[in-house]
Structure 1
Amino acid sequence: MNNSLKLSAMALGLAFALPSLAADLTVVSFGGANKNAQVKGFYAPWEAAGNGKILAGEYNGEMAKVKAMVDTQSVSWNLVEVESPELSRGCDEGLFESLDPAQFGNPDDFIPGAIQPCGVGFFVWSTVLAYNADKLKSAPAGWADFWDTEKFPGKRGLRKGAKYTLEFALMADGVAPKEVYKVLATPAGVDRAFKKLDQLKPSIQWWEAGAQPPQYLVSGDVVMSSAYNGRIAAVQKESNLKVVWNGGIYDFDSWAIPKGAKDLAAAQKFIAFSVQPQQQKGYSENIAYGPANKLAVPLLNKEVLKDMPTTPENIANQVAMDVTFWADYGEQLEQRFNAWAAK
């Protein structure tokens, strides 16, 4: 056996002996300011520690993509960022790998709800009422003002979907934040929400991607919009956009591993890495989303904390996204919403 052959055989042997040390992972997130913060907080430190490359992709949360990959056994994503209702439904439907909570540290260190059977919440965010203070004479105080087109004339931005939109409609109609899901779980409550939406329909400009509300607000296309709090905070230095926390809905975004994904151990290791306090701090310093790991909070300075959805004063009048509700009723409500929006 000549030397070069011997060397390549050795190299081959080594390659097989070290398959799991560093795997390149395809991580798919919602893009934008959130993805930039993930690059700084998670991907760059992960690569710097010699764990392999992160191939960063993005999507708008279409679960059909995940389902198609899993059904056809052609999973090309290692990790995907999902909102809680999709995580819950996807877990029930067998779209995601189940996880062992012990891998991620002491459950008491996390905000309740972060560690789920098929995913781990790595930040807390809120959908809030945002407005451009340059365009309004007075500040809106909540969703009732959002619906008041006489006092606040102009277009409104809302996310094109039942989720959040129906809750906001009920709060605008006088339902207390903590009662929202109780009311929405009744046929009369659903009718009430759609009736309230009918009132605003001529003034609504729909949005689908998180980058749109700040653009619409800055350009003056809308005077108020529902928006992800981190997207507003990201442009507050160069604009007069403001957030109303009252009546916001907070939720986790979680990492999930599509069923049948390759390099399972590396993906699980990445999740554990991303929820360590130091990584959580790095992420929250780059976008105004709250750490899921409470041990990261003391590491953040006061200036950063004031824009976090999870500080006590900001979370006081917010609603926790009811994951079970949306897992149970989501499909039928989204169908009804789509039919309503198309009319």
Structure 2
Amino acid sequence: MKLKLYSRTLSCGVLAAMALGAGVSHAADPVVFASYGGVWADTIKEVCGVPFEKETGIPVQTVATDNSIAQIRIQQMTKNVQWDIAPTEGDAVVIATENDWLEPLDWNYIDPDKKISEVGRMPTAIGAVAYSVAIAYRTDKVPEGRTFSGWKDFWNVKDFPGPRSLRNTPVENLEFALIADGVAPAEVYEVLATKEGQDRAFKKMDEIKDHITVWWASGQQPPQMLATGNVYYATTFNGRVAPLQAEGVPVDISWDGAAIEMSNYSIPKHAKNKEGALKFIKFCWNDPERLAQIAKKLPYSSFNEEMYQYLDPEYAKKLPTHPQNVDKQFNYNAEFWAKNRKQIQARWDRWRMK
């Protein structure tokens, strides 16, 4: 009797649950978006994540990483893929693609009209935003009557005296050294690909080494040092300059010979929500109005030129891909560094220790 009563009660409970479930839609699987956190992650959440969820019903879950390529590798090796979208900056996209750790992107879906320039349309990654590594300098420290205009002046410690700072890496610095030595920006990798070119770059670095007071490692260091006047000339990410200017610091940027680089994003192989990830990539990084919103919050640009229609013309001149800036720079070559980083890094480490 008790058994029959229990069975009937259970059956009624199951039926009730089924009846309730019939009127409830199950929540969509989230898109897990990995980034380096900070203001960038907050901006993407505000400009893309929240409106994406409202429009599609797909939630976006953000997670932070400080070494994406290592974590992509671990997730692929363990067959436990936790991310749907991952950052693949620099040579990381080359390494991950060569190891088959990334899904090919469906460009016919993401950008059917080919509005994104070719450099941002990679087989396994989208160039989400462009930024530049350039020289920022204190305008009040430039000697009267002189104009600071690029890498030759950075190396010219006689006419432009004062403390300097470079990033502690061969990446970009060897390219900058060659430009200071007279190589055209468009030809730096052709020269750097040879042993003679590498020797030439390191020889040029010898000239400036003793004048580098700080070899920076964190992107926060150059703006801090420029603000305090501890250095007069420093490489920095272009987006760090505008906030200093807004605070009244007498600082400007030189685009001549700067390196245009990309923040890439990819879908890891076997991602749990590949479809949602593709939708998010298109929604966030190929909508010119949304790209303009990102650029207004962070002075980085994109590879969809229609973005500039939605920006103030004067503000647009502060962005790396603006027509008056882009031709002065060179495109960072991720393939070169993926192939040569190990042996050049070893040489750099020995050189730094001398």
| TM-score of the superposed pair, with normalisation by structure 1 | 0.89
Once the two structures are aligned, what percentage of the paired residues are identical?
31
Work out the CA distance in 2 between the residues paired with 1:312 and 1:175. 22
Work out the CA distance in 1 between the residues paired with 2:113 and 2:262. 15
The equivalent of 2:276 in structure 1 is 266
The equivalent of 1:305 in structure 2 is 316
The answer to whether residue 181 in structure 2 is matched with residue 173 in structure 1 is yes
Work out the CA distance in 2 between the residues paired with 1:65 and 1:12. 38
AA aligned to 2:172 is: Y
Larger radius of gyration: 2
Equivalent in 82, 87, 106 of residue 81 of structure 1:
87
1:291-302 → structure 2 map (5 Å cutoff): 291-302=302-313
Shift of 1:330: 2.9
Contact 2:68/2:88 (<8 A) preserved: no
The equivalent of 2:250 in structure 1 is 240
Residues 190-238 of structure 1: per-residue CA shift (max 9 Å, x gap): 1111122222223332223323221221122321111111122233211
Residues 30-64 of structure 1: per-residue CA shift (max 9 Å, x gap): 34443343233322322343544433334445522
Contact 1:95/1:258 (<8 A) preserved: yes
The equivalent of 2:121 in structure 1 is 115
Residues 246-304 of structure 1: per-residue CA shift (max 9 Å, x gap): 11111222111222332221112111111222221211121111222222221222132
Contact 1:32/1:211 (<8 A) preserved: no
AA aligned to 1:46 is: F
The equivalent of 2:6 in structure 1 is none
Shift of 1:245: 0.6
Contact 1:23/1:51 (<8 A) preserved: no
Measured at CA, do residues 338 and 39 of structure 1 come closer, stay the same or move farther in structure 2, by a change above 3 Å?
A: farther
- Number of residues paired by the alignment? 340
Residues 55-112 of structure 1: per-residue CA shift (max 9 Å, x gap): 3334445522322232222332321222243212221122222222112123531122
Work out the CA distance in 2 between the residues paired with 1:216 and 1:58. 27
Shift of 1:11: 6.3
The equivalent of 2:205 in structure 1 is 197
Shift of 1:136: 3.5
The equivalent of 1:276 in structure 2 is 287
Equivalent in 144, 154, 173 of residue 146 of structure 1:
154
Work out the CA distance in 1 between the residues paired with 2:220 and 2:276. 31
Equivalent in 100, 103, 106 of residue 94 of structure 1:
100
The answer to whether residue 224 in structure 2 is matched with residue 218 in structure 1 is no
Work out the CA distance in 1 between the residues paired with 2:324 and 2:86. 31
The answer to whether residue 170 in structure 2 is matched with residue 162 in structure 1 is yes
Q: Give the SS at the match of 1:226.
A: strand
The equivalent of 2:5 in structure 1 is none
Work out the CA distance in 2 between the residues paired with 1:62 and 1:233. 28
Shift of 1:331: 3.1
Cα RMSD after superposing both structures? 2.5
Contact 1:70/1:259 (<8 A) preserved: yes
Shift of 1:161: 2.0
Shift of 1:139: 4.5
Contact 1:107/1:115 (<8 A) preserved: no
Contact 1:40/1:282 (<8 A) preserved: no
Work out the CA distance in 1 between the residues paired with 2:118 and 2:92. 18
Contact 2:130/2:300 (<8 A) preserved: yes
Contact 2:58/2:276 (<8 A) preserved: no
